[in-house]
């Protein structure tokens, strides 16, 4: 029996913004201690998604709905990739970049998994690609966790269609209206132009990653009374300062470098493993600040002000307006903000599983998150925690940033500088 679910405004906008050069696809690299056969992974995934109807649905743009894929076959979604032996981390990240450059077929449920063979030391990996209209960071990690814990985990639920008019009435409060005005004001004026907002985002991508301990993250947070998100944004700001300086820009005179920061708006206790509940905020990054501790304090002040201004409520109101009227409202606002180059970089931070997990007997060693690029945009940085570590995943447009390894090294140096500043602060 065929069924359909109406596309919410945010998911419709994400579909509307993509192109052949800019597939709106997010990814994860799951590094394992041994490889998994494609046959075993297909059986496992097929059994897992049996309880989650959305993973057998595709977007129908004409109907503006998710509809059942009557020709669904697991072989079209779970594949084998073989690297020339002995493959290392750089070869694995290059494979992920190649898959991201290609995107996903538009006539099927928009997700795919590749189990990887050929890695050195008998290791394995799984690369997951999912369209951003299908999941946000939180629902994507929720599905990942269920996939790895299926035998003992309660299956995720499918979100009930929201009451659009009730949601809009609830959000029409003066504080949210003012916040939406500020959000539109900032979204419709250009950020500092630093060479990361190309006229056209290229098709060829590159990927890199860097992992730190959560213990070190916590040390920095406590030293400067900051949140985990604050530390991530400060690391990015300090890394960009190094990056711009190497490119001949004077970072001391860059006053309006902005990050677009997706913020999850999921209610406590939700278990959905698909769909989007995010708002998109703009945060100024103090790349003009050379002192690591001062940079983090300025970031923390910015995020506190965003909360005090109810900025997320303004984002909620914009999404609700699109849901209650037409998705074109949200889509056109986002297109205009992108055309105006309202942000420099995408930065997202997702909390992942706290305990070690395994997949079909293979231990999960590391998770690399990769956020999608947007039109007129060349750099995306995602952070995700897992089992005592946090990994930064980097995706770039290779026509704009030829060496993604330099960005990785800048992030590593920025984190080390913050950790050293935290050590001095604790000593003082």
Complete domains list, the chain, with CATH = 4-148 (3.30.559.10), 164-354+372-427 (3.30.559.30)
Q: What is the predicted pLDDT for the residue at 222?
A: 96
- pLDDT band at residue 1 under the 50/70/90 scheme: very low
296: enclosing H helix or E strand? helix 292-308
Give the containing element (helix H, strand E) for 426.
helix 404-427
Task: Encode pLDDT of 34-89 as tens digits.
Answer: 999 999 999 999 998 888 888 999 999 888 899 999 999 999 999 999 999 999 99
Q: Residue 26: is its pLDDT beyond 90?
A: yes
Cα dihedral 277, 279, 280, 285, rounded to 10, equals -110
Q: pTM of the prediction?
A: 0.92
Q: What's the per-residue H, E or C state across 205-271?
A: EEEEEEEEEHHHHHHHHHHHCCCHHHHHHHHHHHHHHHHHHHCCCCHHHCCCEEEEEEEECCCCCCC
For residue 2, pLDDT beyond 50: no
pLDDT tens digits for range 287-326: 999 999 999 999 999 999 988 887 888 888 888 888 888 8
> Which is more confident, 140 or 214?
214
User: Residue 98 and residue 75: Cα distance in Å, rounded?
Assistant: 20
Spatial separation of the C-alpha atoms in residues 335 and 330, rounded to whole Å? 9
Residue 169 has a pLDDT of: 61
pLDDT at 334: 92
């Amino acid at each position: 029996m065929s069924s359909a679910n109406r596309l919410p405004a945010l998911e419709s906008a994400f579909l509307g913004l993509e192109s052949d050069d800019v597939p709106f696809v997010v990814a994860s690299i799951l590094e394992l201690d041994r490889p998994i056969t494609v046959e075993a992974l297909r059986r496992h995934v097929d059994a897992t998604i049996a309880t989650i109807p959305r993973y057998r649905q595709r977007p129908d743009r004409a109907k503006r709905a998710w509809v059942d894929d009557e020709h669904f076959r697991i072989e079209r979604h779970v594949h084998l990739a073989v690297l020339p032996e002995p493959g290392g981390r750089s070869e694995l990240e290059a494979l992920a970049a190649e898959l991201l450059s290609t995107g996903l077929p538009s006539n099927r449920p928009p997700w795919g998994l590749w189990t990887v063979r050929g890695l050195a030391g008998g290791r394995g990996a799984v690369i997951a690609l999912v369209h951003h209209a299908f999941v946000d960071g939180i629902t994507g990690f929720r599905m990942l966790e269920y996939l790895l814990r299926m035998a003992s985990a309660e299956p995720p639920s499918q979100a009930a269609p929201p009451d659009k008019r009730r949601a809009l009435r609830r959000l029409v409060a003066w504080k949210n209206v003012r916040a939406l005005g500020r959000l539109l004001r900032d979204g419709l004026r250009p950020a500092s132009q630093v060479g990361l907002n190309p006229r056209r985002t290229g098709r060829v991508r590159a990927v890199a990653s860097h992992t730190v301990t959560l213990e070190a993250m916590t040390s920095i947070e406590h030293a400067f009374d900051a949140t985990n998100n604050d530390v991530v944004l400060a690391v990015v700001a300090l890394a960009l300062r190094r990056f711009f300086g190497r490119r001949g820009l004077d970072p001391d005179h860059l006053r309006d470098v902005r990050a677009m920061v997706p913020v999850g708006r999921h209610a406590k206790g939700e278990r959905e493993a698909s769909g989007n509940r995010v708002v998109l905020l703009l945060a100024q990054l103090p790349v003009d600040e050379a002192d690591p501790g001062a940079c983090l304090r300025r970031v923390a002040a910015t995020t506190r002000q965003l909360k005090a201004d109810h900025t997320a409520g303004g984002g909620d109101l914009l999404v609700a307006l699109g849901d209650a009227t037409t998705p074109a409202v949200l889509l056109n606002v986002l297109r205009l903000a992108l055309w105006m180059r309202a942000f420099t970089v995408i930065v997202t931070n997702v909390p992942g599983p706290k305990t070690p997990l395994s997949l079909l007997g293979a231990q999960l060693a590391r998770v690399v998150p990769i956020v999608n690029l947007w039109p007129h945009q060349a750099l995306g940085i995602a952070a995700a925690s897992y089992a005592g570590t946090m990994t930064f995943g980097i995706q770039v447009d290779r026509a704009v940033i030829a060496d993604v390894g330099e960005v990785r090294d800048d992030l590593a140096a920025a984190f080390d500088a913050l950790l050293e500043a935290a050590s001095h602060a604790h000593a003082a």
